[in-house]
Amino acid sequence: MLLLLLFLFFFFLQIFFHFSPSVFRTPRAEKLIVYIPSLHTNSQMFIHPILFSGLVIFCFMVLPNLILSGVVVKSVVHDNCPGCYYNGKCMCSNQTIMLRRTYDCILLECRGNYADIKKMFCLDPNGNCMAHEDKWRGRIKNTCVTFYCEIINDKAQLSVVFDLVCFPDHVVGSMMYFMGPHIALC
């Protein structure tokens, strides 16, 4: 997108200098004449093809190499991993794990060299993974709350409802912490 904008900028810049008049009049004073040097001399007109060809060379030669270098780096990492490679970790084949991410949890299954997301969960502030349409009581800064989990279009959405009455479930729920199985790294 940025390269397209640069290309359009240089294109319109070339058109502007090619068709620009050498004299402009200001709207305030009709008698005031401002001389703007134009690029109509032979030495200065040669700049435009150089800039344009440099931009074309950059777009067609450098940009694909930058894109392909990321693909090459990723394929090198996958070749060194005998199982599944997901989120910077190499997991053993035929293993199912619960993986906590920034905003959600996923049940990840490794089959051969492919990682498959089996189920998504919500992640509450204590780090607990909650299933779809699940309720979990807890506390946020000594305020009793109930967490509700909804998975909509493969996105976890955690809703928080403030409760007026605190129950023992709120205290116990805020102390509990999910401990998942460790990833057996290959």
pLDDT tens-digit map of 167-179? 887 777 777 666 6
pLDDT of the residue at 132? 86
Q: Are 83 and 97 contacting, i.e. CB atoms less than 8 angstroms apart? A: no
Q: Are 92 and 157 in the same domain?
A: yes
Q: Please tell me whether residues 143 and 125 are part of one structural domain.
A: yes
Contact 59, 7 (CB under 8 A): yes
Tokens of 79: 């070749």
Over residues 43-64, the pLDDT tens digits come to 444 455 555 565 555 555 555 5
Do 61 and 18 belong to one domain?
Answer: yes
Range of the domain at 21: 2-80
> Where among 80, 112, 143 does a domain terminate?
80
Query: Does one domain contain both 67 and 91?
Result: no
Q: What is the pLDDT of residues 5-28, one digit of tens each?
A: 666 666 655 655 554 444 444 444
Structure tokens at 94: 């035929």
| Residue 51: φ, ψ to 5° | -65, -45
* Mean pLDDT (the chain, rounded): 69
Alpha helix stretches (DSSP H) within the chain = 2-19, 42-45, 47-57, 63-80, 168-175
Structure confidence at residue 97 (pLDDT) = 82
Q: Are 158 and 128 in a shared domain? A: yes
CA-to-CA distance for 38 and 45, rounded, in angstroms?
Answer: 10
Asked if 74 and 97 sit in the same domain, the reply is: no
Clarify whether residues 134 and 167 are in a common domain. Answer: yes
- Residue 81 · residue 98 · CB < 8 Å: no
In a domain, 97, yes or no: yes
Q: Verify that 94 and 64 share a domain, yes or no.
A: no
* Residue that is last in its domain, among 58, 80, 102: 80
Total tally of structural domains belonging to the chain: 2
**Identity (one letter) of the amino acid at 23?**
V
Neighbour tally for 127: CB within 10 Å: 13
Collapsing DSSP to helix, strand or coil, 77 comes out as: helix
List the structure tokens of 8: 């359009």
For residues 125 and 146, state if they share a domain.
yes
What's the whole-model pTM score?
0.49
Flag whether 183 is in a domain: no
Q: Is the domain of 101 the same as that of 169?
A: yes
In this structure, is residue 181 part of a structural domain?
no
pLDDT at 137: 83
